[in-house]
Amino acid sequence: MNLSEKSLAELSHLFQDGTVSSREIVEAFITNIESCEDEIDALLLTTFDQAREMANAADSRQKSGKLLSPLDGMPIIVKDNYCTQGVETTAASKILKGFVPPYDATAWKKLKDSGMILLGKANCDEFAMGGSNEHSGYKVCKNPHDLTRVAGGSSGGSAASIAANFAPAALGSDTGGSIRQPASYCGLTGLKVSYGRVSRYGVTAMASSLDSMGPMAKTPEDCAMLLQAMAGADHKDSTTPDKEVPDYLAHLGHKISDLTIGLPKEYFIEGLDEEVAEALRATKKVLEDLGCTLVDISLPHTAYAVPAYYVIMPCEASANLSRYDGIRYGAGQKGENLEEIYVNTRTAGFGDEVKRRIMLGTYALSAGYYDAYYKKAQKVRTLIKQDFDQAFEKVDLILTPVAPTPAFEIGRNLEDPLQEYLEDIFTVPASLAGICGLSVPVAKSSSGLPIGAQLLGPAFKEQRILRVGHHLYKAIHE
């Protein structure tokens, strides 16, 4: 097997025991990027020169027995909304063109300090707003399984990079599904951590009460390795509690036959693609064969999650994006006075989807509408959280589809934003509740498109969904 097809865990073993060098690993991925990136458009920039230097340094550490961690010498691609010191960071927006951050996002810095090597910055929907990567300010990322289809979004470039063997791992961000959905569309594992498990510091803020940073990779085991280094309190993000970080890898091996898994009836509804429904039935059977008990449950407020999310998220996003005025950083435009500079900068710098959300959020927060929209949505959010709290009194975790269909054709939803928003129905409830979720590849459609299943767990129980995901993955793929 070609090196670039191997999982992160396999590559790490081969490097640690001296079978292959970090430089050989890095070159294998660079070769793929050079030959296929033109047709996939997963990356906004590459950092090959630095990557080669870092790989040589990792090889020296390997020879002298001074490796930094199990991730040392391993390449990774980072979503472009993470600040990367000295490397341009635009969040796929024209308004940030030319912005070179003087610091690293904490989640990335922790991986860098573990020896991971940046190969490039991943394309995404502008400021992570979207579910298809069609809203990138630069180019549309294609799905490596079918170039006429979307890779998903917003972390589409991260997902496509792994699916195309450009890197064994990538960083994504998930505010309403942006790690889990592209992972499902591209046949990968993607982990949305509980709110606060991983620092948000240094990642461009979309909706601050929902944003979560997490890993994407081929397998749940790989995601566990990455989370191990990323998780934990950070004094630069006051929403990260000082909670113990479990040994995620050690948990993977524990048995799962004592677990009860809930199937919420509100997630198996009309409109769910028949092949996705079939993939979920098959997944349920695999979990039963592994000894888990599957029971029907109800999460009664599920139908209100999309409307609540599409009020709360734009409200927070409109406030967060008010900082982009072209004065301190990014691509500012000229104007006769301050007002004109702002208007010209924001008109030229933001794309349509971002403008739409700024308008929706500004409207919903305005005097007279605040109570009717924002406050009401927050109350619905509490009800959705209570649905999960009650469910987790009866079950250990929850199994659902990730998205209603496999990856759709590029352009299908472009004229109809509402249709695109509705596709988030299975991912946004967990985001509103702040719990964790894992997208695991479980099947392929008749036309060869990947289909994922979602495992949801209580807040700060990543070890549980990773463990079940690991057993499920092995049962299906090994």
Cβ-contact 127, 204 below 8 angstroms: yes
Of the residues 136, 155, 158, 178, only one is catalytic, namely 178
Q: What's the distance, CA 257 to chain centroid?
A: 29
Of the residues 114, 136, 154, 161, only one is catalytic, namely 154
Q: What's the distance, CA 61 to chain centroid?
A: 31
Its sign, for the CA torsion 278, 280, 283, 289, is negative
Strands across the sheet with 75-79, in order?
43-46, 117-122, 75-79, 169-174, 212-217, 189-192, 436-444, 450-457, 397-401, 260-264, 293-297
Q: Judge whether 94 counts as a catalytic residue.
A: no
In total, the chain counts a number of residues equal to 478
Distance of closest approach, residue 159 Cβ to ligand GLN, in angstroms: 12
Interface residues with ligand GLN (CB under 6 A)?
A: 128-131, 154, 174-178, 206, 313, 424
Q: Which residues pair with 208 in a beta bridge?
A: none
Nearer to ligand GLN, 180 or 464 (CB): 180
Distance of closest approach, residue 384 Cβ to ligand GLN, in angstroms: 16
Distance of closest approach, residue 108 Cβ to ligand GLN, in angstroms: 17
Cα dihedral: 73, 463, 241, 107 (round 10): 20
Q: Which residue has the tokens 């490397």?
A: 87
Nearer to ligand GLN, 313 or 397 (CB): 313
Q: Judge whether 79 counts as a catalytic residue.
A: yes
Residue type, 295: V
Nearer to ligand GLN, 11 or 150 (CB): 150
3-state SS class at 5: helix
Q: What's the distance, CA 63 to chain centroid?
A: 35
Nearer to ligand GLN, 309 or 473 (CB): 309
Of the residues 12, 21, 79, 142, only one is catalytic, namely 79
Integer Cα distance of 374 and 62 in angstroms:
54
Cβ-contact 434, 194 below 8 angstroms: yes
Nearer to ligand GLN, 176 or 457 (CB): 176
Q: Residue 292 phi/psi, 5° resolution? A: -75, 155
Residue type, 134: E
Q: Judge whether 178 counts as a catalytic residue.
A: yes
Nearer to ligand GLN, 59 or 424 (CB): 424
Distance of closest approach, residue 130 Cβ to ligand GLN, in angstroms: 5
**Region of 86 on the Ramachandran plot (φ > 0 left; ψ -120 to 50 alpha; else beta):** left
Distance of closest approach, residue 291 Cβ to ligand GLN, in angstroms: 33
Distance of closest approach, residue 254 Cβ to ligand GLN, in angstroms: 30
Taking every pair of Cα atoms in the chain, the longest distance, rounded to a whole number of angstroms, is 70
Q: Which residues are annotated as catalytic?
A: 79, 154, 178
